[in-house]
Structure 1
Amino acid sequence: MVLVSLTVLYVSLRLTAADPPSELKHGGCIKVNECKCLMRDGSGLIDLGSVADEDGFIQRLKPLPSAPQTPDVLLSFSPCLAFSEPERFGGTDCTGVAVCVSRRIHQDNGFVTQYFNYGKHNGNKFSFTDSEKTLSVSYSMFPDSEPQTVVHYRCSPNRSVTSSVSLSERALLQMWVESPCACPNACALVDVGPGTILLIILCISVTAYFIIGSCALRPFRTSNGVQMAPEDSVWCKICCQLTVRRKQNCSL
């Protein structure tokens, strides 16, 4: 009886080890921060900063294609950079946001611009669909509130951005972004660390050493012919010229 129980326990443990939990087996995405997502299957890291342009925006004051009858509706979205609109004047709803929609309303002889906050980076949520290879990121006004914007990033060799929203009901804003940089470990941003900076400084110093030294060569005649050698005090003279402000004799 004991032998049968041990056999059943052994088989159960083998089945459990061979059949991991569904969230691990089907992969998915682990949120690293508001801008990065690590794939569970080990395929790499998705960095949303690489999808944006050099200024950090995917859309910057672009007209909403879903509202052709209202051309004065503009959309701005940055996946990693918290921005404010307008830039020079604060106090609007779009202060430190990820998504902002501005709408210009004509009144009398002028116009008034309204700014709508459609989500911030703080508390954004990541969801990855393995079948479609799509990463969906939702943005809310507050960490525990309903999402105002959902951006779908799809790994694709093409580059395109489309959006859809109904401003009359302040409905959910959805964006679809296709980019090769939305693939894991693609278009990774190069991080210049302190080691790289020190290496660059060292290379510049060595280059300057040889250039200045070669310019200070002094020819002299020996029994073997004319030879060239650097001045003994050339580096002292250079330091003297750089440090002495008044006219002094720098000869040693």
Structure 2
Amino acid sequence: MHGKRHFSPVVVVVLLGAVRLCLAANCVKTGPCSCRMDDGSGVIDLSPLVKGSPTYKDIRSSYIPDTWVYSYNPCVPFSEGSCKNVSVCARDRLQHSKYESYGTQESAVFKSDTDVGLVLGYVDSPTLRVGAVELWCVAKNQPQNLTVVGRMPMWPNTIIMALFSPCCCPGAGPTCADSTTT
């Protein structure tokens, strides 16, 4: 048994119980960009990030064939081109007058995901385009920004984004965006 590590059954049960508790936590919506974790860990409130209309403008996708740029405002509707009162808007860089809406503040839903954690989703009706924002909790001394994965061929009506901010952490408070970089 030299060189192999074995966990006792008690440690395995405790670890599995902790993982289940983390994965079971949901966030109950309290506003268009805030929710309360049902495990008691606190409130996630993205409102301190609002700095402009939109907060994140013309962000390029990391998915190379994607020729669109994306704008996102987590809490307050904005208008850009033919996108009116939206949370997420896309503009084609090749056809500058082509815009697509990917959801409104009213459609915002917080959803727990076992792979990424918490996702804030928006839906545009009647097109049913979806803007999905993964919320990643980072410390104030870590890089903070919005990354756009973009549209993948397998989900052509879905934009996937990742927001890295202390404001994505439960209980972060109103000063969470003080050192945020966009």
Same fold, TM-score > 0.5, yes or no:
yes
**Does residue 150 of structure 1 match 2:132?**
yes
Pairs within 5 Å for 1:49-198: 49-50=47-48, 52-55=49-52, 57-67=54-64, 70=67, 73-86=68-81, 92=82, 94-105=83-94, 112-129=96-113, 134-142=117-125, 146=128, 148-157=130-139, 158=142, 159-166=144-151, 170-188=156-174
Residue type of the partner of 2:118? Answer: L
Pairs within 5 Å for 1:3-82: 26-50=24-48, 52-55=49-52, 57-67=54-64, 70=67, 73-82=68-77
Task: Give the drift of 1:176.
Answer: 1.1
Determine which structure has more spread, i.e. the larger CA radius of gyration: 1
Task: Give the drift of 1:167.
Answer: 7.4
Residue type of the partner of 1:150? Answer: A
Distance in 2, matches of 1:56 and 1:187, equals: 22
- Bigger share in helix: 1
Q: Structure 1 unaligned segments of length 5 or more: list them.
A: 1-21, 87-91, 107-111, 191-252
- How many residue pairs align between the two structures? 152
1:167/1:116 Cα in 2 relative to 1: closer, same or farther (>3 Å)? farther
Q: Structure 2 unaligned segments of length 5 or more: list them.
A: 1-19, 177-182
1:85/1:167 Cα in 2 relative to 1: closer, same or farther (>3 Å)? farther
Task: Give the drift of 1:68.
Answer: 6.0
Q: Normalising by structure 1, what TM-score? A: 0.52
Verify the 8 A CA contact 1:154 1:177 in the aligned structure 2.
yes
Residue type of the partner of 2:86? Answer: V
Residue type of the partner of 1:65? Answer: S
1:69/1:29 Cα in 2 relative to 1: closer, same or farther (>3 Å)? closer
Aligned Cα RMSD in Å?
3.2
Task: Give the drift of 1:75.
Answer: 1.0
Task: Give the drift of 1:145.
Answer: 7.3
Verify the 8 A CA contact 2:132 2:161 in the aligned structure 1.
yes
Distance in 1, matches of 2:78 and 2:119, equals: 21
* Higher RCO by CA contacts (8 Å cutoff, separation 6 or greater): 2
Per-residue Cα deviation, 1:225-250 (whole angstroms, up to 9, x for no partner): xxxxxxxxxxxxxxxxxxxxxxxxxx
- Bigger share in strand: 2
Q: Which secondary structure does the structure 2 equivalent of 1:170 belong to?
A: strand
Q: Normalising by structure 2, what TM-score? A: 0.69
